[in-house]
A and B are shown apart, each in its own frame.
Chain A
């Protein structure tokens, strides 16, 4: 099956700055594809080139084989867009916004169904300016879904939302995919990309530094994992050093921390601990995450 989105050697400059500098990737149907990286990495520029609201300076982008900038109106009928920096007239009411945007498309979903799906029924008559951050974001998603799009673009969807609202957004994004759309999103929250996306593209300084599923990205990192616990009686030598994969055993304020790597490292340590028969408390495991992947690829944290 041909990919839904294709980006080949994409270049976009703002003055001397190469905001996107030779990026190539494809997105398949039914994926939740995430683009992560710090602010200024080129995520928004890339997504806006795909949406057809920005013209690339070099390379090619295509949506279902069509150039989104040259064939803007054809492509716009098939995609749904949530923009990072956009707004609606403040006195426009929620249902009016949905009716208005529905009228821009050849085919559209019943606004009432979307209001219900987004939990905005009670806000149908509220002006846009009276909505909370989360409600407004749900309205923008509703607008992005009004034409029953085949691909949905979500740019920094959860920025500025509280953790609870963020989680409910994640459910919403999964639901959008389950109803048959391909989802392309950008975020600078690594946890969000890790939990939500089938594949993640890591961007830095306008370039793609890694692209795979979060699981494979983390696995390939070969970074160490940790098991730590608090032994309740005594501090005899537990012999963890002898276990395969263990690299370091240390004690910090009565806590034992075992570091190492390998596929079954954690279960091996936990089993040895159980077998040793000592009593322990507060067992914790630390797995590397996408944040660590970014750190190891670029040498710095996402949010500095």
Chain B
């Protein structure tokens, strides 16, 4: 347990010291609030069922953070650590492999929550954005989404030869999803044909689940999203466990 807490503490410090990762997780979503807030404001709009543009951006950008961490940070860091020999060095200690994975997941959960807290703080200070949901259900959704996105990230890391390849694969998967899933911009802005494409994108289910729970919709209305994310976790997590390499 001491290993897990020390490794997690250290990983969080390292995450924050990595300027690019820290920017995309912490600063970028907040920056979007400032830019799109200035453009659209947060007046109630019929497009969003009476909510403001900034209100719906809160869960959307939260999904964006989850996608960034799972599909970019996880593969880049994991493949990089393997390539550099960091994983090899960790393996030459009594630390269990599971401790490493658990610590990585905890680190990423902490960074997600930090990013969301920052996002909400700015949103609330500038636009008095609303949160109408149950915080525990939201936390559950964040954890499930984080695990699902990270399992995809670990699989990318496992099949990529190195950090650069992992980064390219992660970006190819992530960027289209950012625009088409409702995480980067409201799904309502997309033409119906593209909205149908979004049904096939994993991040869409993160965005839908978070948005529903953020505004207090009943949990049972979102069991489909939960099931899809759990399925992604099982399939990709299983494949990642099968193909994961320490060196």
Contacts and interface: CB of A to CB of B under 8 A. Distances in A.
Interface of A: 51, 53, 72-73, 76-77, 81, 83, 85-92, 96, 99-106, 143
A87 B85 contact: yes
B10 A81 contact: no
29 contacts: A51-B92, A72-B94, A73-B94, A73-B96, A76-B93, A76-B94, A81-B92, A81-B93, A83-B88, A83-B92, A85-B85, A85-B88, A86-B86, A86-B89, A86-B92, A87-B84, A87-B89, A89-B81, A89-B86, A90-B84, A92-B14, A96-B10, A96-B13, A99-B6, A99-B10, A103-B5, A104-B93, A105-B93, A105-B94
B243 to A, nearest CB: 18
Interface residues of B, number: 22
Interface of B: 2-3, 5-7, 10, 13-14, 17-18, 81, 84-86, 88-89, 91-96
Contact of B85 (A86, A92, A101, A104): A86
A73 B14 CA distance: 26
Contact of A87 (B3, B14, B17, B86): B86
A84 to B, nearest CB: 9
Nearest to B84: A87
A100 B91 CA distance: 13
Nearest to B93: A104
A49 B84 CA distance: 21
B88 A101 contact: no
Nearest to B99: A104
Contacts of A81: 92-93
B2 A103 contact: yes
A104 B91 contact: no
A83 B87 CA distance: 12
Nearest to A77: B94
B86 A88 contact: yes
Given A73-B94, A76-B93, A83-B85, A91 B17 contact: yes
A72 B92 CA distance: 9
Q: In the complex, which of the residues A72, A77, A89 has the most CB atoms of chain B within 10 Å of its own CB atom?
A: A89
A86 B91 CA distance: 10
A73 B17 CA distance: 31
A85 B84 CA distance: 8
Given A102-B6, A104-B93, A143-B89, 12 more contacts: A51-B92, A76-B93, A81-B93, A83-B88, A86-B89, A87-B84, A87-B89, A89-B86, A91-B18, A96-B13, A100-B10, A104-B94
Contacts of A87: 84-86, 89
A76 B92 contact: yes
A100 B96 CA distance: 14
Contacts of A76: 92-94
Contacts of A83: 85, 88-89, 92
A101 to B, nearest CB: 6
B93 A101 contact: yes
B246 to A, nearest CB: 9
B21 to A, nearest CB: 11
A154 B13 CA distance: 30
A156 to B, nearest CB: 13
A76 B89 CA distance: 12
Rank and list the top 4 A-B pairs by shortest CB-CB distance, nearest first: A103-B6, A86-B85, A76-B94, A86-B89
